[in-house]
Amino acid sequence: MGLREYLRVVRRHRWLLIASVAVALGVATIININTTPVYAARVTFFFATPAVSGADAYPASLFNFNRMSTYTELLTSDEVVTPVAATPGVDMDAEQIRAAIAAEPVPDTVMMKVSVQDQSRDRALLLLTRLTGRFARVVEELERPAPVAPPTVRVTVVSGPALDTAPVSPDVLNNLALALMAGLILGAIGVVGREVADHTVRTAKALEVLASAPVLARVPTDPGDPVVSRGASARTEALREVRTRVQCAAAAGSVKTLAVTSAVPGEGRSATACGLALLFAEAGQRVLIVEADLRRPRLAAFLGREEAAGLSTVLDGGATLAQVLQPWGAGLWLLAGGRTPPNPSELLSSSRMTELVDEARRRFDVVIFDCPPLLPVTDAGVVAARADRTLLVVRAHRTTSAQVTTAVRTLHAVDATLLGCVLNMVARKGPDAVPNYDTYLSGSGPARGDQGGGKRPAT
């Protein structure tokens, strides 16, 4: 799976990815709004030991460096914290003060950074100010060798106490960045999950592999006419491509009868069969379209013709083929399904059906059978076995791989010859869309006069 396929997958499920990121950012925004701001005040201490001579400077500095961890622990001791808690205006007990203090020695130095955090800006600064004075006095008292002797360590404030201008919590930008990453990760997991769980046929290449047969065309949806559009349209051009492939197959061998079927209902089988019949008639051939779905006939309604008498009437012996044929335009005749019989499979597999197919071959150039779906009933297999070739219609993003595989096995089981597949109802937009015929057909491409001898366009 190359980079292009990964990008196609992301584009196909982009709304899931966008929704995941939007939800994550929304949650982070709510957290940022509802979190009470916490402010920090900071101070930096420097510890120095007076040296009598230059030779004493290094041992004194090393002495202070080794005691930095001791001073860090001393900062939150009872000796420092308890008096601070008793200071007016602090309104915090010793444990709360300890939780608010954070101390960190500066590496390879004799300095220590101390911060105090609180929801109140004023109290954070007041607490740190009281803490700074108390801590310096405690260190100097503890490091005094005798009551009247000077302290061996002096604590100097080199920075602060000062209050940060912005609150340390919530960190709005950091939270939004983490939410963005979390949304992308969750969205990617969702995209992969949907892609793995989606067993529908999406591309012509996948359908070709499943059916072990060529895909004759990718037919897009047409909101104007579900059968075939008047004039030029992407759907009409795709169906003309199917017609051309069938004509090429007919030139190589005998293809006068074509069974059009699908794996399951709702794949646009009848509309495809009807559209092909109209296009064959448009090419000047005598075409008969037969409603071979005796259980749920639809062609008569598509073409606006009578459906009371038709194929079932002929197979029952109630009429001849000539008596029930209905013309539709120039070069096209309809054999409707007729009344629904109690035994469609038996009628379609009878010797009378064989005779009817032979008679239709003699009278018409092309005979197209609109068959029922293969998986629910056996009728389509019976008709496909009598036709020269079979066309399998597969609806993009709906028919599953298992359904296609089962349909092809059903055709092979009855020795039907699969001419190819039609990937139907392909999206007009998106990563799996059909080629854009509209721009070319509208005449917005290069002007014809530019093809020879005309002025070259400015560059």
Instruction: Report yes or no on 453 lying in a domain.
Output: no
Instruction: Report yes or no on 351 lying in a domain.
Output: yes
* Confidence class for position 426, pLDDT limits 50, 70, 90: confident
**Same domain, yes or no: 339 and 390:** yes
Instruction: Report yes or no on 368 lying in a domain.
Output: yes
Instruction: Report yes or no on 449 lying in a domain.
Output: no
Query: Whole-angstrom Cα distance, residue 112 to residue 198?
Result: 59
Instruction: Report yes or no on 444 lying in a domain.
Output: no
Rounded mean pLDDT, 367-386 = 92
**Same domain, yes or no: 224 and 256:** yes
**Same domain, yes or no: 375 and 300:** yes
**Domain of residue 129, CATH code:** 3.30.70.1130
Query: Whole-angstrom Cα distance, residue 344 to residue 269?
Result: 19
Give, for 14, the enclosing helix (H) or strand (E). helix 14-34
Higher pLDDT, 203 or 54: 203
pLDDT in tens, 119-140: 888 889 999 999 999 998 898 8
110 near 28, Cβ under 8 Å? no
**Same domain, yes or no: 50 and 85:** yes
Strand-pairing partners, residue 6, are none
45 near 110, Cβ under 8 Å? no
**Same domain, yes or no: 347 and 298:** yes
Domain count of the fold of the chain: 3
* Residues whose CB is less than 8 angstroms from the CB of residue 325 and which lie 6 or more positions away in sequence, other chains included: 288, 333, 334, 335
335 near 357, Cβ under 8 Å? no
**Same domain, yes or no: 111 and 24:** no
216 near 45, Cβ under 8 Å? no
Instruction: Report yes or no on 457 lying in a domain.
Output: no
pLDDT in tens, 269-289: 988 998 899 999 988 899 999
**Same domain, yes or no: 185 and 210:** no
* Confidence class for position 429, pLDDT limits 50, 70, 90: low
**Same domain, yes or no: 114 and 45:** yes
**Same domain, yes or no: 294 and 397:** yes
**Same domain, yes or no: 61 and 77:** yes
**Percent above pLDDT 90 for the chain:** 31
Q: What is the pLDDT of residue 454?
A: 39
Could you list the residue range(s) of the whole structural domain that residue 273 is in?
201-439
Instruction: Report yes or no on 216 lying in a domain.
Output: yes
| Residue reference for tokens 């030139």 | 251
What's the Cα-to-Cα distance from 29 to each of 21, 53, 217, 368, 428, rounded to whole Å?
12, 60, 49, 61, 37
Q: E-strand spans in 136-180?
A: 154-163
Q: What is the pLDDT of residue 447?
A: 43
**Same domain, yes or no: 250 and 273:** yes
pLDDT in tens, 285-317: 999 999 999 888 888 887 888 888 889 999 988
pLDDT in tens, 17-69: 889 999 999 999 998 888 888 999 999 999 887 754 444 555 656 666 777 88
Average model confidence (pLDDT) for the chain?
83
pTM over 0.85: no
Instruction: Report yes or no on 451 lying in a domain.
Output: no
**Domain of residue 396, CATH code:** 3.40.50.300
